[in-house]
Amino acid sequence: MPEHKILIVEDEEAIAHVMESILSANHYIPLSAKNGGQALALASAERPDLVLLDLGLPDMDGVEVLRRLRQWDQIPILVVSARDQEKQKVEALDLGANDYIPKPFGSSELLARIRAALRQRAAALSAGAVRPEQYTAGGLTVDFDKRLVRVEGKDIHLTQIEYKIVEFLARHPGRVMTYDAIMIHVWGPYLTDDNKILRVNMANIRRKLEKNPAEPQYIQTEMGIGYRIAEEDS
């Protein structure tokens, strides 16, 4: 199995060195860039399999690096950011970042997010333009063709709005979908800035899908960002 090349875009040498060590120890090939200009040049020359992108870069905003990368490549991009950069994280996810990893992070979390993003990329490439017929994770199944949702084999009655929310998340398994992205998909031109209506619908969805809505198994809340549905069964 070929080793994956991972581009680290991080201006803090200590953090970059830690990332390089973690990746090398786990059979990845790390590439490092200290600023946005270097990152764009390396991404073009080396064609890495994944990018770890810090948002606070010295020469340009990390969001701008993301925007430029997305103009010509759908490579998985994981945003690495401090917890207080909430607004930038939301913007990055809306622009197409696959996930985010808050600083400080542990090696296990970093590696798990990398593996998940690479799996999603491989699945997307193998599927090509064919849309999956259903989503399955644990006891939850979403049948896209029949517009049915089942938990442990039992049909679950969802309203039209509730189904659209679940379907949208299930079409992006394992990825954080921002509040705005979900609301635009579901309500379109009737969108308001207040996500209260989304939170009310999510509470109803969890009551129907989860054994314990207070500790959800299928749909996790990423505080201040959005929601993430569980990865599909392999």
The answer to pTM > 0.75 is no
Number of domains in the chain: 2
pLDDT in the model for residue 184: 81
Instruction: Indicate whether 28 and 94 sit together in one domain.
Output: yes
Report if residue 15 sits inside a domain.
yes
Instruction: Indicate whether 101 and 178 sit together in one domain.
Output: no
What's the farthest any 2 CA atoms get from each other in the chain?
Answer: 54
Domain end (from 127, 146, 174): 127
Instruction: Indicate whether 34 and 117 sit together in one domain.
Output: yes
User: What CATH code is carried by the domain that includes residue 198?
Assistant: 1.10.10.10
> How far apart are the C-alpha atoms of 223 and 90, rounded to whole Å?
11
pLDDT in the model for residue 2: 54
**Which of residues 166 and 83 earns the better pLDDT score?**
166
Q: Name the residue range of residue 55's domain.
A: 5-127
Q: Is the pLDDT of residue 127 over 70?
A: no
Report if residue 192 sits inside a domain.
yes
Domain end (from 80, 99, 127): 127
Instruction: Indicate whether 47 and 106 sit together in one domain.
Output: yes
Instruction: Indicate whether 115 and 146 sit together in one domain.
Output: no
Structure tokens at 80: 């690495």
Report if residue 220 sits inside a domain.
yes
- Condensed to tens digits (0 to 9), the pLDDT of residues 13-40 reads 999 999 999 999 999 999 999 999 999 9
User: What CATH code is carried by the domain that includes residue 66?
Assistant: 3.40.50.2300
Backbone angles phi, psi at 220, to 5 degrees: -95, 145
Report if residue 79 sits inside a domain.
yes
- Condensed to tens digits (0 to 9), the pLDDT of residues 171-188 reads 889 889 999 889 888 887
Q: Is the pLDDT of residue 59 over 80?
A: yes
Instruction: Indicate whether 44 and 85 sit together in one domain.
Output: yes
Domain end (from 65, 97, 127): 127
- Condensed to tens digits (0 to 9), the pLDDT of residues 71-118 reads 777 889 999 987 666 787 888 888 889 998 888 889 999 999 999 999
pLDDT in the model for residue 129: 47
